[in-house]
Structure 1
Amino acid sequence: MNGSSVRVRVPASTANLGPGFDALGMALGLYDTVEVTVTGGDVQVEVTGEGAAEVPTNEEHLVVRALRAGVDALGVALPGVSLRCHNAIPHARGLGSSAAAIVAGVAAAYGLAGRELDGDALRLAAEFEGHADNVAASLYGGLVLAWSEGTRFRAVRLEPHHDLAPVVLVPGTRSATSVTRGLLPGNVPHSDAAFVAGRCALAVHALTARPDLLLPATEDRLHQDYREKAWPDTMRMVRELRENGVPAMVSGAGPTVFALPPLGALPSGVDTAGFTVCALPVDRTGVTVVPNGSIGTNAR
């Protein structure tokens, strides 16, 4: 195995999509790339792009940890490894950077082992992340529905409507999932739970077949308002966009705003000061793995 190498490209993701807390995810056309080479020496990590000066460059690097978990599960020995990572996904912004790193590590393990990505790859990645929505989106591409059965994580892929034209509004501030989850109440009113159940079902229909229903379909009462004090400017932007007819929501744990404006254009009167506005296509492919320059494979 010494000298073997793979190149992995993994997309960003947005989760929740309004009412689908921990259940809905979508892959976005912004990519981290990782080149992994098996060596006989120590772990070496080189990082460029987002977070280059902040992430560890040893065994504690998240891609390395996920890679180790992957090769252990596959029964493959990995004496030493060299990683070259180029990160385009912003860190701690709600665009699935940690999920992308985990998927990159697991996918690299499969590539080095000569294995096609399978359902166990999702299980490994979701166990590492703690939930499946972001990792499933990065693995499969498109729109995903994620759930758990006891301790087992599952997900299915659906094809998003071809008219979807996502726009992300990324603020300079950061957010941590561990912090924002702590703001959620232990119980919610039954009326809110019923409301969200209906909206989540409608969201699946709107995202795949009826984008004209996206504005009501992306309404939430389960998590966004409770976490507003973590990112007040984000919620101000969400409300302003929605008042202007744009389906908008918090992307994952925030603070990025995820919007689905008709034709991909925000209304001209919306004040986006403090946010970097970027149109990102839906990624419909998911993670790709290229071993030693051969044709890449995808998870399905």
Structure 2
Amino acid sequence: MKNKLVRVKVPASTANLGPGFDAIGMAFQLYTTLEMRLAEQTEIHLVGDELTALPADKSNLLYIVAADLFEQAGLGVPELHLTVSTEVPLTRGLGSSAAAIVAALTAANALAGEPFSREQLFAMASRREGHPDNVGASLFGGIVVAAMPEQADAAVPYIRLAVPEGLETLVVIPDFWLSTEKARSALPDKYERRDAVYAVGHSSLLVAALAQGRLDLLAEAMRDRLHQPYRSALVPGLAEMLADASEHGALGAALSGAGPTTLFFFSGESARESLLRFVARTMADNGISYRTMVLAPDQSGTEIEVLDLSR
């Protein structure tokens, strides 16, 4: 353990995909990379502009999660040397905190001699994040459908699906942060029965459509009444984009996670160009600066490399 360096590469993710609230996640080829080894004194190196606002001491989430795993394994609190870089925009709805949690858990587990299974790591990550969708996608890759169990110490049940062939993703990332706490505070405490039934039907249709590659059903299946209508006020232009995206080449559209990023599924160059024009008009009308990315799905999940420093 003393002469090991562990390097992990963790994909970003989106969650919900409309009605799959806290239950459906999908991984992208946009990565957080973490190197971890034991040290005489803890040092944390944050590489890149995205990470400049984060603490570089033991209050950093990566250290907290890793140290907790060591304690759970009965190994005591470690001193660690961490180097982290990320391509994932922070607090934009692309699973940056989930990727960090998964990175810290998998790296620490490998450094500690793998005292926990992958499923146990998934349960730890899900409970720390509060829901299993983002962490499941980051850990396993592809599309993950999962539900939190009623028992606090039970395994988290999940199904992993391959991303349907031909499905491409455009994300629109506004130039402002939106915390998950603020996005959750916009949600009501109670829902009408008709909205609950609507959510069950559409989330079920969404999972079935993804499992069978029925891209033609996504526009309807991704409609939502649980969270997107309430969060629209926090993301200028969101309501228009969700309502009209299918008329401009989108196979389906959703708020990515808690936002403010909006996600569009599409297929083909002409659909992409049409969507880009539509987004440009909508964002200009709302006075919002933004950037776009076309993201490919990640089908592999977290990759782990263990190096022997004694050689």
Report the TM-score, using the length of structure 2 for normalisation.
0.89
Alignment equivalent of 2:266, drawn from 231, 256, 261: 261
User: Residue 178 of structure 1 corresponds to which residue in structure 2?
Assistant: 181
- C-alpha contact 2:4 2:308 (8 A) present in aligned 1: no
Match status 1:249 vs 2:260: no
- C-alpha contact 2:67 2:78 (8 A) present in aligned 1: no
User: Residue 295 of structure 2 corresponds to which residue in structure 1?
Assistant: 280
Alignment equivalent of 2:216, drawn from 175, 194, 212: 212
- Secondary structure of residue in 2 paired with 1:266: helix
Higher helix proportion (structure 1 or 2): 2
- C-alpha contact 1:93 1:174 (8 A) present in aligned 2: yes
Alignment equivalent of 1:270, drawn from 271, 275, 278: 278
Equivalent-residue separation in structure 1 for 2:308 and 2:21 (angstroms) = 38
Equivalent-residue separation in structure 1 for 2:201 and 2:69 (angstroms) = 37
Structure 1 stretch displaced more, 93-102 or 257-266: 257-266
Match status 1:230 vs 2:234: yes
Alpha-carbon spacing, 1:197–1:69, altered in 2? closer, same or farther (3 Å): same
- C-alpha contact 1:11 1:30 (8 A) present in aligned 2: yes
User: Residue 127 of structure 1 corresponds to which residue in structure 2?
Assistant: 127
- C-alpha contact 2:133 2:145 (8 A) present in aligned 1: yes
Alpha-carbon spacing, 1:235–1:51, altered in 2? closer, same or farther (3 Å): same
- Secondary structure of residue in 1 paired with 2:50: coil
Equivalent-residue separation in structure 2 for 1:235 and 1:172 (angstroms) = 18
- C-alpha contact 1:67 1:109 (8 A) present in aligned 2: yes
Q: How big is each residue's C-alpha offset from its partner over 1:239-268, in whole Å with a ceiling of 9 and x where there is no partner?
A: 332343511110000000111012264252
- C-alpha contact 1:180 1:253 (8 A) present in aligned 2: yes
- C-alpha contact 1:126 1:135 (8 A) present in aligned 2: yes
User: Residue 165 of structure 2 corresponds to which residue in structure 1?
Assistant: 162
User: Residue 14 of structure 1 corresponds to which residue in structure 2?
Assistant: 14
Match status 1:292 vs 2:298: no
- C-alpha contact 1:3 1:39 (8 A) present in aligned 2: no
Structure 1 stretch displaced more, 162-171 or 240-249: 240-249
- C-alpha contact 1:244 1:267 (8 A) present in aligned 2: no
Equivalent-residue separation in structure 2 for 1:8 and 1:74 (angstroms) = 20
Alpha-carbon spacing, 1:117–1:259, altered in 2? closer, same or farther (3 Å): farther
User: Residue 89 of structure 1 corresponds to which residue in structure 2?
Assistant: 88
User: Residue 79 of structure 1 corresponds to which residue in structure 2?
Assistant: 78
* Unmatched segments (≥5 aa) in structure 1: 295-300
User: Residue 32 of structure 2 corresponds to which residue in structure 1?
Assistant: 32
Q: RMSD over aligned Cα, in angstroms?
A: 1.8
- C-alpha contact 1:38 1:78 (8 A) present in aligned 2: no
Q: How big is each residue's C-alpha offset from its partner over 1:82-111, in whole Å with a ceiling of 9 and x where there is no partner?
A: 111111100000000000000000001111
Following superposition, the deviation at residue 156 of structure 1 comes to 2.3
* Unmatched segments (≥5 aa) in structure 2: 284-288
- C-alpha contact 2:249 2:272 (8 A) present in aligned 1: no
- C-alpha contact 1:50 1:89 (8 A) present in aligned 2: no
Alpha-carbon spacing, 1:293–1:234, altered in 2? closer, same or farther (3 Å): farther
Alpha-carbon spacing, 1:293–1:236, altered in 2? closer, same or farther (3 Å): farther
- Secondary structure of residue in 2 paired with 1:232: coil
Alpha-carbon spacing, 1:69–1:155, altered in 2? closer, same or farther (3 Å): farther
User: Residue 298 of structure 1 corresponds to which residue in structure 2?
Assistant: none
Equivalent-residue separation in structure 1 for 2:17 and 2:308 (angstroms) = 36
User: Residue 68 of structure 1 corresponds to which residue in structure 2?
Assistant: 67
Number of aligned residue pairs: 293
Q: Which amino acid aligns with 2:138?
A: S
Following superposition, the deviation at residue 50 of structure 1 comes to 4.4
- Secondary structure of residue in 2 paired with 1:60: coil
Following superposition, the deviation at residue 157 of structure 1 comes to 1.1
Among the aligned pairs, what percent are the same residue? 37
- C-alpha contact 1:70 1:106 (8 A) present in aligned 2: yes
User: Residue 46 of structure 1 corresponds to which residue in structure 2?
Assistant: 45
Equivalent-residue separation in structure 1 for 2:294 and 2:249 (angstroms) = 18
Alpha-carbon spacing, 1:56–1:124, altered in 2? closer, same or farther (3 Å): same
Following superposition, the deviation at residue 78 of structure 1 comes to 5.0
Equivalent-residue separation in structure 1 for 2:142 and 2:23 (angstroms) = 14
